[in-house]
Structure 1
């Protein structure tokens, strides 16, 4: 009987003490779920304008047009590379669809590409070539990895050429000519967006300018024969662009 009484008293005490222990527990705080992460995606769409600079080399071969009366007769005078620097600007527009980027661009540059060689036909003469300007009108197709863009380009090219030949012993100018020559161009570039509207890149271009027969005149305006001159140009450029348009898209 004594054991039963003690057990009953213990059960009553436990039941009375349970609510007090629950009341002593602190309420669990409410924690708001964090917002979903937002990733900034670079958008290449919009108009842009920029500057560029670099260097190039024009490979030119001269063939003297034989005046012996044989039609189409050519005598090779030799080849040389006209090398130098260039600086200019570009303006264009790009639009982006997914990771693909399409664009059109016009570019104009001043240049100072020069080179010469001794004529194989006239050993006392030296032939000299110069490019003092060029322009490119191209379309672009590119693929973007967020703020990194790789693209290829192609279109039309135009260059301003000057030619002369001079006497080696005296250095006197014997005859000269100039032309504006049209051709084609292909190239590729890699561009990096380092700020919302700014990008920097490198670009390579090859110009196909074919060959053309050029008539020379002396300083006194007298005709001095003709040469068929062929040329191709390779050049590398560093470019800096500023773009108008929405630079970033919020992606959840």
Structure 2
């Protein structure tokens, strides 16, 4: 047998014998769990400040004390203002407190059914102090609110024929409010919403320098607003596994 062929045969036998040992020495690859999917959730907690604007209708009913019903009218117009508040979130439930102040121009009038006069009502400002409770679906929040309301109002009586002002009275009136809103978080610190509020005002005896001199005025307000809020602090979008 050729010497070179003999050496090749010996090497092949040695390599075949060593192959199982080499395979056994290779460590099995460790199993690594794939990273879990991370879903972004919106955190409604924290202080916020914002602006609002919209329109309203204030229903006013005038009763001349000792004489009877003079009539009713709707005082309508626009409003713009701001709000500041704080919210805290527990699971999907969101709780909050808020203060709101607005300039307004709600005005209307009607002819008296008893006298030759025209009665005019105007609301030029209002404030709301409310508590909130809401439920969040990630960056969508639905909430109800309620609390106290204060309104700056003006009442005027004009001569029906000439239009001359016969008497006026400025009043600060207190009452309550309830409402509901829908808010959408479109960026980590910004949210846009719509809101409805109803303001209940107590009946008020308003005195004029006229005869008859006193009207009992009943008023309430229905209002729709668009709101833009900025929440302070970073990290409003959180991660969740």
Question: Does the pair score TM above 0.5?
Answer: yes
Contact 1:60 1:82 in 2 (8 A): yes
Which of 67, 88, 94 aligns to 2:81? It is 88
Aligned to 2:100: 107
Output the CA distance in 2 between the equivalents of 1:97 and 1:250.
Answer: 16
Aligned to 2:240: 251
Which of 213, 217, 221 aligns to 1:233? It is 221
Aligned to 1:134: 126
**1:50-101 CA distance string (max 9 Å, x none):** 00000000001000012xxxxxxx4100000000000000000000000000
RMSD: 2.3
Local SS of the residue matching 1:214? strand
Displacement of 1:224 after TM fit?
Answer: 6.0
User: Aligned pair 1:42/2:10, yes or no?
Assistant: no
Contact 1:186 1:207 in 2 (8 A): yes
Output the CA distance in 2 between the equivalents of 1:92 and 1:216.
Answer: 39
Aligned to 1:54: 54
Aligned to 1:7: none
Paired residues for 1:175-214 under 5 Å: 175-214=167-206
Displacement of 1:30 after TM fit?
Answer: 9.2
Output the CA distance in 2 between the equivalents of 1:100 and 1:196.
Answer: 19
Local SS of the residue matching 1:169? coil
User: Aligned pair 1:97/2:85, yes or no?
Assistant: no
User: Aligned pair 1:120/2:113, yes or no?
Assistant: yes
Displacement of 1:216 after TM fit?
Answer: 1.0
Output the CA distance in 2 between the equivalents of 1:217 and 1:131.
Answer: 21
Contact 2:173 2:202 in 1 (8 A): no
Output the CA distance in 2 between the equivalents of 1:170 and 1:155.
Answer: 43
Output the CA distance in 2 between the equivalents of 1:168 and 1:77.
Answer: 13
Q: Which moved more, 1:209-218 or 1:112-121?
A: 209-218
5+ residue gaps, structure 2, are 1-11, 20-25
Displacement of 1:35 after TM fit?
Answer: 2.1
Aligned to 2:9: none
Contact 2:64 2:214 in 1 (8 A): yes
Contact 1:177 1:217 in 2 (8 A): no
Contact 1:175 1:224 in 2 (8 A): no
Q: Which moved more, 1:187-196 or 1:240-249?
A: 240-249
Aligned to 1:149: 141
Displacement of 1:249 after TM fit?
Answer: 1.8
TM-score (norm 1): 0.82
5+ residue gaps, structure 1, are 1-14, 67-73
